[in-house]
Amino acid sequence: MDRLSDGLVLQIGQQALWVMVELAGPVLGLGLAVGLAVSVLQTTTQINEQTLSFLPKLAAMLLALALLGPWMLTTLVDFTRELLISLPNWV
């Protein structure tokens, strides 16, 4: 029977951080790419409107959440299920 040791806690924390990066990465990356494209467009056209980049980034991130939502939920449920199934072995 495995006991809850420092190494195991660190491993669980590392897995949780990796799942967080895996879930947030695509949405934040798309927001970053759209923000960069809008910034380049603003620079080339010399439009200095601060609020212009907010709406395209918001729309792109909402679209990414809508498209990737089922995969994100499945990944999170799988991680949580693994944690809860292995919990009796640690206590």
Cα–Cα nearest to 81, from 14, 3, 19, 5: 19
- The answer to the question of residue 60 being in a domain is yes
- The answer to the question of residue 35 being in a domain is yes
Inter-residue contact 2 to 90 (CB < 8 Å): yes
- The answer to the question of residue 21 being in a domain is yes
Q: Is the pTM of this model over 0.85?
A: no
Q: What are the tens digits of pLDDT across the range 34-84?
A: 999 998 988 888 887 777 878 899 999 999 999 999 999 999 999 999 999
- The answer to the question of residue 89 being in a domain is no
Which of residues 25 and 88 earns the better pLDDT score? Answer: 25
- The answer to the question of residue 17 being in a domain is yes
Most confident of 9-13, 23-27, 83-87: 23-27
- The answer to the question of residue 86 being in a domain is no
Cα–Cα nearest to 82, from 27, 18, 26, 25: 18
- The answer to the question of residue 43 being in a domain is yes
- The answer to the question of residue 49 being in a domain is yes
How many CB atoms sit inside 10 A of residue 60's CB? 19
Contacts of 39 (CB under 8 A, 6+ apart): 53
Number of domains the chain contains = 1
Q: Which residue range(s) make up the domain with 53?
A: 6-77
